[in-house]
C-alpha cells in the first residue's frame, strides 16, 4: 500500500490532483489517499507529478508518498469509520 498525502494552495490544482488519485486508490482523509502499491502505479503517479504538477508548485505546496511493506499493512491500526475500510463485504442476491 502507498499513502499519498498532498497540500496545494490552489483549490483548482488540489481538486485535479485528488481526481487523478481516485483512479488509483481511495481517500482516507481529506488530502490523504490509500493507493495499491505496485511499481507501475508508483511510476504512473510519479510521472504525472513530474509532468503536470511539479511546475505548478508554490512555496507551500507538497506531495508526500509513503510506501509501506506487506507486513506493515497488517499492523495498521484503524479507529472510527476507517476501521471498516479493509472489511470484506458480502452481498446476497
CA dihedral 7, 9, 11, 16 (to 10 degrees): -50
Q: Which of 26, 27, 31, 29 is nearest to 14 (CA)?
A: 31
**pLDDT tens-digit readout, 7-66:** 999 999 999 999 999 999 999 999 999 998 889 999 999 999 999 998 888 889 999 999
Global pTM value: 0.80
Give Cα 67 to chain centroid, integer Å: 10
Contact 8, 17 (CB under 8 A): yes
The three-class DSSP label of residue 43 is helix
Amino acid at each position: 500500500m502507498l499513502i499519498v498525502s498532498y497540500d496545494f494552495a490552489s483549490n483548482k490544482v488540489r481538486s485535479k490532483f485528488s481526481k487523478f488519485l481516485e483512479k488509483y486508490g481511495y481517500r482516507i482523509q481529506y488530502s490523504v489517499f490509500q493507493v495499491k502499491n505496485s511499481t507501475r502505479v508508483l511510476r504512473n503517479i510519479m510521472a504525472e507529478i513530474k509532468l503536470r504538477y511539479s511546475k505548478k508548485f508554490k512555496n507551500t505546496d507538497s506531495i508526500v508518498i509513503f510506501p509501506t511493506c506487506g507486513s506493515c499493512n497488517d499492523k495498521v491500526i484503524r479507529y472510527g469509520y476507517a476501521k471498516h475500510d479493509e472489511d470484506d463485504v458480502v452481498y446476497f442476491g
